[in-house]
Structure 1
Amino acid sequence: MFQKFDKTKYPPSEKPMMVWDGECGFCKYWVTRWHSLTGNSIVYKTYQEVAQQYQDIPLKEFKKASRLIETNGAIYSGPDSAYRSYTYTKKNHPWHQWYHKYDWFTALSDHGYNYIAKNRGFFFKLTKAFFGTNPKRLQPYWVIYLILFLAVFYVLLKFL
């Protein structure tokens, strides 16, 4: 499981910074998506580029989870880094508040994030199958799969 950090002594000076794994296709897909939604309000850097700037965060922890580091030094880790990044979009999603309000949501998010992080290759393939290859323009392929599944299920029930 990834470790959470509250603050860093080395915050970015101008804008919040999302730090992610530049060698991960799954990560790149979703960071591209977040960047398209947040515009220039967040700086996106790989941990390979900036980890040495954050001496109070071990390199092994950057490898485990993304980090959103704000200009006041606050750090949001793992799923909360993604949830917090959505507060910089035009639509204010409730996930960041839920993460801090509901223990069950925090636990589900953290364990889900950890599981996905350990199986990034599989989930990258699944992401592309469900949403398409362009993260800036998600396609609802999962709806087609759901309709096909329900149609097959209906046919089986009807004739069995």
Structure 2
Amino acid sequence: MFKKITKTKYPPSSPILVWDGECKFCKWWKTRWELRTKNDLSFKTYQEVAAQFPDIPEKEFKKASRLIEIDGCVYSGSDSAYRSLYIAGDDKWHIWYAKEGWFQKISDLGYNHIAKNRNFYYKATIVLFGKDPEKPAFYWMYYLLLFMFIFLFLIL
């Protein structure tokens, strides 16, 4: 499980989401997140910026994304994604995460599972949405319709 780091003594001049630049899954979803958050925060790989945050161990950057704000607050894992949406104006996810223990637990377990299985989830992302994160194709709808058709065929 990733460690939740709540503060750094080295705050950036603008909010920054730090992610793993060597992870294809991370890159695909980082691109989607950039489109959703517009220019409200910057996205940097931990390989680029880890040295700027010496109080955050590099091994922790490898385990989970980190959103670091100008006041030094750090949001980790699933909450880094929720907080980035909060900055972009969609506050419900971060508020749920902060207030609802069950939502926090489910989010963290899900995030941790995906983080440990990034290659599988990258392949699943490509199958469900295609290779271009800027123009995702919603193939999953076709799979769902096919599954429903087969299910109905089998029970009738």
Q: TM-score, normalised by structure 2?
A: 0.96
Shift of residue 141, structure 1, vs aligned partner: 1.2
Match of 2:4 in 1: 4
Equivalent position amino acid for 1:43 in 2: S
The offset of 1:95, in angstroms, is 1.2
Matched, 1:75 2:70: no
Q: Partner of 2:41 in structure 1?
A: 42
Residue number among 98, 123, 136 corresponding to 2:96 in the alignment: 98
Partner amino acid, structure 2, of 1:17:
I
Query: 2: distance between equivalents of 1:137 and 1:68?
Result: 25
- Greater shift, 29-38 or 135-144, is seen at 135-144
Give the Å deviation of 1:36: 1.3
Cα distance in structure 1, aligned partners of 2:31 and 2:79: 17
Aligned position for 1:149: 147
Q: CA deviation at 1:137?
A: 2.2
Give unmatched runs, 5+ long, in structure 2: none
Instruction: Kindly indicate whether the alpha-carbon contact (under 8 Å) linking 2:78 and 2:111 is maintained by their aligned counterparts in 1.
Output: yes
Identity level (%): 57
* Pairing 1:27-66 to 2, within 5 Å after superposition: 27-66=26-65
Aligned-partner Cα distance in 2 for 1:75–1:137: 30
Q: For residue 93 of structure 1, report the CA deviation from its aligned partner.
A: 5.0
The corresponding residue for 2:132 is: 134
| Partner SS for 2:131 | coil
**Which position in structure 2 is the counterpart of 1:124?**
122
Q: Tell me, which stretches of 5 or more residues in structure 1 are unaligned? A: none
**Which runs of 4 or more aligned residues in structure 1 lie more than 3 Å from their structure 2 counterparts after TM superposition?**
none
